[in-house]
Structure 1
Amino acid sequence: MTQKIVPVIMAGGKGTRLWPLSRAAAPKQFIRFIGDRTLFQETLERVSDPALYAAPVVLTNEEFRFLVAEQARELDLALSAILLEPMARNTAAAVAAAATLVRDRFGEDTIMHVLGSDYEIVADGSYFDAVRTAAAAAADGKLVTFGIKPTEPATGYGYIEGGETLPSGAQTVKRFIEKPPLATAEEMLAAGGFYWNSGMFMFTASRLLGEMVSYAPAVLKAASEAVRLSATDLDFIRLDKAAFAESPNISIDYAIMEKTSNAAVVPSPFKWSDLGSWDSVWKSGSRDPQGNVAAANTTLVNTKNSLVMTHGVHLAVQGMEDVAVVASEDAVYVGRLQDSQEVGAIVKMLASMPATSRLTETHPTSYRPWGGYTSILNGDRFQVKRIFVTPGKKLSLQKHHHRSEHWIVVRGTAEVTIGETVQMLRENESVYIPLGEVHRLANPGKILLELIEVQTGSYLGEDDIIRIVDEFGRN
């Protein structure tokens, strides 16, 4: 293949099914579970071969834009574009906007590989064989989906029934099947020829847009107008809000794939999971001889077939079987693996109560375009945070009306501006910023800057920031 495929990565979804690690403001695609890569970063790595792929287009939202940019930067992978959706309108509008952009930038016959950023996939030889088969079918004018060969009668996935084999090696699609009851799933597994619907697609930009004209003209009109009226903001392309809002809220499956006569499916034997529950994380993980999947900072004694993970305190688990024990910095979930599909009910309960709603929304660790911070301790009129600043980045020039701050450098070098004075702080050195004083923090060094910040005052909310100069265009 001489023409490069343009990956289109969907990274805007929010979800809390893997609570307490995933939350509304920190969904699973941006979380490090057991390895040192997030699911989004693993997705970027799968499309990083320059012989096969062009630089990817990423679709996300305002809230996650700097997470996307920073996690791509960590891998030193260039992105073709970051499209910002002004509101959620499901996958049909997102794909239509991406196809419009790809057509305009790369040409109408460009092949797009649309993929989610929150799957666990083993990208072995069979995976890239499937990609090449799908590309050949897409070049022949097909709208291709990847059908995962089922390993169990799963009821949480939609299914696709394959038909006759095409010259490319793909199959025609007989029908799409909604998430089935167990008995139906067992019948399909026994019969063969049925595949899990992976949510990954491949087609040319022109073919997708042509099908949109026929089957989803309102989606196409809204998405193409949103691209035409889009605005560039730093490294981001902001789709026009008013135009995008006119799109129907519908998935690409319902809008196009289940209606078109040009659908095809590539039977795909590679390992795939949508990681929709802690049970699926356990199934996809690397298990020890006792059947456990455990992350660092854990100790397991007489425990079998369990998932034990922590992003904070050390976890010691004794005498348990078939359980999930998952700890974030501020919450712990314990439950039977077979019940982990029901985590959503716990999240709804927590979200409904003012005392616990924040546990479903944000992490103690929040990311910003310059780095981020972790909330360590909150008290009456004081708060302690760990601040981390990426090399070469700086915070906004700002001031606060209600708090003063003490900074103690624990790693790296800090350039601190207070009023008209600029000074350098190194490890174990500290500085005080009085209430109302204009100040700025920057990392001029080559390593991550870490410091402890102690805030004191009558109000310590994040909205008590008056930004005077901000290189990221924030108010």
Structure 2
Amino acid sequence: MVPKASPPLITPVILSGGAGSRLWPLSTETRPKQFHALLGKSTMFGQTLQRVGRQEAIAFGDPIVICSLNHLASVREELQREHVPDATIILEPCPRNTAPALSVTALIQAERDPDSLLLVMPADHIIDYPDRLYQACLDACQAAEAGHIVTFGIPPTAPETGFGYIKTGDELAQRVFAVDAFKEKPDKQTAEGYLADGAYVWNAGIFLFKASSFVAEMAKHAPEILDAARATLSASQTEAGCVFLNETRFAQVPASSVDYAVMERTHQAAVVPVDMGWHDVGSFLTLWEMAEKDGEGNVVQGPVALFDSANCLVRTEAVAVSLIGVNDLVVIATEQGILVTHKDRAQDVRLAADAFKPKSPNA
């Protein structure tokens, strides 16, 4: 009897950047949304760690976390809570988007093991069916080992205008397709066309690739980013599992997304469609839609009293909040501020976040 082959070891790479400005005042620059328990008892960062912990279905190695230098304490707290002692933490002194961050990561991992597979995922996503993610990873492994940069696409359920789209091309292997094109966030009519076409999936920003393959593709398509990332690493310091990126060098790395720097240019892009109950909790409307509601369609947390009110999201950390005779409102009260908006304006909450953003000393 031929023994069953063991699944390849996959190193999780957790992207923990951004401020989640559409969830202000709950999410702030000092404590962004991934460090909050928005749905369930664990934070979204904690849920991500649980998702890539020790599993029978797939072999995950010790994670790599990429985060702001300002969030080191929060990341360490999450790692300790989830009993993850051996993570590598890459600390960005300033934001430069995902291509520089993953270039640094791939260079580090290529030194350790150039053939190792990296699973890149944001820390602020919800996945209802992780088993389907594991199967998608297994489906994608052979393509990734052959040099493809694999991304995971979500079959669309609505003509969503807030996500980018990927057009699937020829089938490369079972459940693995070539990428025909990346599409920016569309207008409503275009999104309806994508949905009717059936060949398009949402771009979830989740990737699987071999460390050496990513370095090679960066060298072909964005050498200025890769060279600057390499120069940053040579001037950086490592201490107690933390890589402190050199601030002067890292600030000189051209800022760019992985999609623009590599995925839209490479001939090695592949996509695995996977319906895994994926949610990008990017607004309070999404949070209301996903949360458990009372008989009137309200979602509440904290000391809240509602009277003749329906379809509201009310969340308060300490101060008592009462709503009387209103519908479809979002009310958020924290030490950082108070937000009141109609659910239809949930995408505009970033206006409030920008209005109360700490001013630069030189401004």
Q: TM-score scaled to structure 2, two decimals?
A: 0.91
TM-superposed deviation, 1:161: 0.7
Which residue, out of 244, 248, 256, partners 2:250?
Answer: 244
Match of 1:456 in 2: none
Q: Secondary structure at the match of 1:20?
A: coil
Counterpart of 2:22, as a letter, is R
Q: Percent of counterpart pairs with the same letter? A: 37
Higher strand share: 1
One-letter amino acid of the structure 2 residue matched with residue 2 of structure 1: P
Question: 1:87: how far off?
Answer: 1.8
Instruction: Quote the residue 1:48 is aligned against.
Output: 53
2:195 aligns with 189
Aligned position for 1:336: 342
172-181 or 281-290: bigger deviation: 281-290
Are the counterparts in 1 of residues 302 and 318 from structure 2 also a CA contact under 8 Å?
no
* Aligned-residue offset at 1:246: 2.8
- 1:294 maps to amino acid: V
Q: Supply the RMSD in Å over aligned alpha carbons.
A: 1.8
Q: Are 1:275 and 2:265 an aligned pair?
A: no
**1:2 and 2:30 aligned:** no
Task: Provide the secondary structure at the position in 2 that maps to 1:226.
Answer: helix
Q: Deviations over 1:237-266 (max 9, x none)?
A: 112233323321111100000001111111
Q: Which residue is 2:3 aligned to?
A: none
Q: Counterparts of 2:292 and 2:329 in 1: how far apart (Å)?
A: 16
Q: 1:388 — aligned with what? A: none
Aligned to 1:428: none
Q: Is the 8 A contact 2:7 2:138 kept in 1?
A: no
- SS class of match (2:339): strand
C-alpha separation between the residues in 1 aligned to 2:122 and 2:95? 15
2:32 to 22, 27, 43: 27
CA change 1:299–1:128 in 2 (3 A) is: farther
CA change 1:108–1:274 in 2 (3 A) is same
How far, CA to CA, are the matches of 1:323 and 1:121 in structure 2? 26
Q: 1:246 to 1:346 in 2, by over 3 A?
A: closer
Superposed displacement of residue 50, structure 1: 5.0
The partner residue of 2:317 within 300, 311, 317 is: 311
Give the whole-Å Cα distance in 1 for the aligned partners of 2:296 and 2:276. 25
Residues 99/330 of structure 1: CA separation in 2 closer, same or farther (3 Å cut) = closer
Superposed counterparts of 1:342-381, under 5 Å: 342-351=348-357
Q: Any idea what SS the aligned residue of 1:166 has?
A: strand
Segments of 5+ residues of structure 1 without an aligned counterpart are 352-356, 359-475
CA distance change for structure 1 residues 79 and 313 in 2, over 3 Å: closer, same or farther?
farther
Q: In the alignment, which residue of structure 2 is the partner of 1:414?
A: none
Higher RCO (C-alpha under 8 Å, 6+ residues apart): 2
- 2:88 is matched with 81
Answering whether residue 269 of structure 2 is matched by residue 257 of structure 1, we say no
Offset of residue 323 of structure 1: 1.7
Aligned to 1:368: none
> 1:313, 1:329 within 8 Å by CA — same for their partners in 2?
no
Write the distance in 2 (CA, Å) between the matches of 1:99 and 1:318: 54
Between the aligned partners of 2:264 and 2:247, the Cα distance in structure 1 is 28
2:140 is aligned to: 134
In 2 relative to 1, CA 161–86 (structure 1 residues): closer, same or farther, beyond 3 Å? same
Find the aligned partners of 1:97 and 1:193 in 2 and give their Cα distance. 33
Aligned partners of 1:167 and 1:212: how far apart in 2? 25
- CA shift for structure 1 position 274: 1.8
Q: Is the alpha carbon distance of 1:293 and 1:319 closer, same or farther for their aligned partners in structure 2, counting shifts above 3 Å?
A: same
Aligned pair partner of 1:145 in 148, 151, 155: 151
Matched-pair contact (CA < 8 Å) for 1:9–1:57: yes
- Aligned: 1:69 with 2:90: no
1:421-463 per-position Cα deviation (integer Å, ceiling 9, x unaligned): xxxxxxxxxxxxxxxxxxxxxxxxxxxxxxxxxxxxxxxxxxx
Q: Is the 8 A contact 1:34 1:309 kept in 2?
A: no
Partner letter of residue 109 of structure 1? D
> Residue deviations 1:350-373, cap 9 Å, x none?
34xxxxx59xxxxxxxxxxxxxxx
Give, in whole Å, the separation in 1 of the partners of 2:86 and 2:291: 29
Larger Rg: 1
- In terms of fraction of residues, the more helix-rich structure is 2
Question: Which of 83, 107, 118 does residue 112 from structure 1 map onto?
Answer: 118
- Listed as ranges, the matches of 1:159-238 within 5 Å are 159-238=165-244
Q: Does 1:292 align with 2:298?
A: yes
Q: Deviations over 1:328-357 (max 9, x none)?
A: 135221211111101112233334xxxxx5
1:313 is displaced (CA, Å) by 2.1
**3-state DSSP of counterpart to 1:273:** strand
Query: 1:168 Cα shift?
Result: 4.1
What is the aligned partner in structure 1 of residue 110 from structure 2? 103
Structure 2 spans left out of the alignment, 5+ residues: 1-5
* Paired letter, 2:32: P
In 1, the alpha carbon distance for the partners of 2:244 and 2:356 equals 33
Q: Is structure 2 residue 22 aligned with structure 1 residue 17? A: yes
Distance 2:116 2:167 in 1: 27
Alignment partners' CA distance in 2, 1:178 and 1:333: 30
Q: Distance in 2 between matches of 1:228 and 1:16?
A: 33
Residue 31 (structure 1) shift? 1.9
